[in-house]
Amino acid sequence: MTQIALVCAAGIGDALITSIAAHELRKLGHSVTVFSPHLMGFGSWLEKGDYLPYSQDWSETLRSFDSVLLQHDNTPRARSIVALRKAGLPVSIFYTNYRTSKHGPLESGFDVPFDEGKNMVENTCAALKQLFAIETRGDNVLLPPSHLTHRKHNQRVLIHPTSTSENKNWLRQRFFRLAQKLERRGFEPLFILSPKERDLWPASLNAPHYPTLADLASAIYESGAFIGNDSGPAHIASYLSIPLAVICQGRQMPLWSPGWHRPLLIRPPRWVPNIKGMRLRQEKWKYFITTKHVLNKTSLLLELNENN
């Protein structure tokens, strides 16, 4: 049995996408250990296998494996793992934004540069076909527990107003107004906030506590729809086939767009310029997306959701 180490990039979405490889390689009989700071938080949702946090000493940790599969995210961690090739460790690399000047020449049969015109799920499936001759639809290591009911609360709309970067977030006050308008239309909007984020938002906000990623995934799985920024929870919703809308600047889409159940992408109007020196579209994009526009764009999504 081949012992394979799969090293995911740091984000929740990264782990969900890269774990497609773990699921498929396990089906072929390989033993795959997945390294991620997040996946263990999904608890009972995870298929059988080994899941570990990041190592403090990759050279020591990876020496017991036959090969390594790495999602290269241009961090010192990724570069240190690539360097282990010199010690004879077979390392296959998924490059999300390969540049010859930055990464050097590709190693044939081991390295796959992603197509930035396709989303990460499509790229990962294509890379598995290229490296391992695996045909896959993109299933990963998450399995919804049997006691849950898909979209049980059809009128519930989960709203995720944050992300890993403030520049990726739509305006807070407009999220408030959107929730109010949805409630007037008979929906039940609930906010998703981490414990640290919760202290920065009004105490009156309807934001249930989800102690673990397993709890969050369960809430998403049983909700009717999801609206948020480009973030990890949006990828969870996409994987679980929950109708979703993603409010985004749009510069890095479609590469980072949730790639299972396709989202409704809500972006600033095309006429917003990105004047050299001003970076208007890049830095002020959120001001050009109104609450009314988001509500109008998501109305069809929510109406279809009600009827299904």
For 95-140, what is each residue's pLDDT tens digit? 999 999 999 999 999 999 999 899 999 999 999 999 999 999 999 9
Answer yes or no: same fold for 3-132 and 153-306.
yes
Instruction: Kindly state the tokens that stand for 35.
Output: 């390294």
160, 228 Cβ separation under 8 angstroms: yes
For 214-273, what is each residue's pLDDT tens digit? 999 999 999 999 999 988 999 999 999 999 999 988 765 678 889 999 899 998 887 776
7, 14 Cβ separation under 8 angstroms: no
Q: At what angle do helices 213-221 and 232-239 cross, to 10 degrees?
A: 50
Helix (H, G, I), strand (E, B) or coil at 80: helix
Instruction: Kindly state the tokens that stand for 29.
Output: 């009989």
For 164-181, what is each residue's pLDDT tens digit? 888 889 999 999 999 999
User: Which strands make up the sheet holding 3-7, listed edge to edge?
Assistant: 50-52, 31-35, 3-7, 67-72, 91-95, 111-113
> Domain 3-132 classified CATH 3.30.420.40?
no
pLDDT at 169: 92
Mean of pLDDT values over 12-17: 96
For 22-75, what is each residue's pLDDT tens digit? 999 999 999 999 999 999 999 999 999 999 999 999 999 999 999 999 999 999
- 282 pLDDT more than 90: no
- Bridge partner residues of 244 (DSSP): 226
pLDDT at 252: 59
Mean of pLDDT values over 74-103: 95
pLDDT at 276: 61
Give the span between the Cα atoms of 305 and 252, in whole angstroms: 28
Instruction: Kindly state the tokens that stand for 227.
Output: 């609206």
CB atoms within 10 A of CB 78: 19
Which residues in the chain belong to E strands, given as ranges?
Answer: 3-7, 31-35, 50-52, 67-72, 91-95, 111-113, 153-160, 188-191, 223-228, 244-247, 264-266
Q: Where are the domains of the chain?
A: 3-132, 153-306
Instruction: Kindly state the tokens that stand for 292.
Output: 């009314």
pLDDT at 301: 79
Mean of pLDDT values over 142-155: 96
- 279 pLDDT more than 90: no
Report the CATH number of the 153-306 domain: 3.40.50.2000
pLDDT at 75: 96
Instruction: Kindly state the tokens that stand for 264.
Output: 């409704």
Instruction: Kindly state the tokens that stand for 82.
Output: 């690539």
Phi, psi (rounded to 5 degrees) for 95 = -95, 115
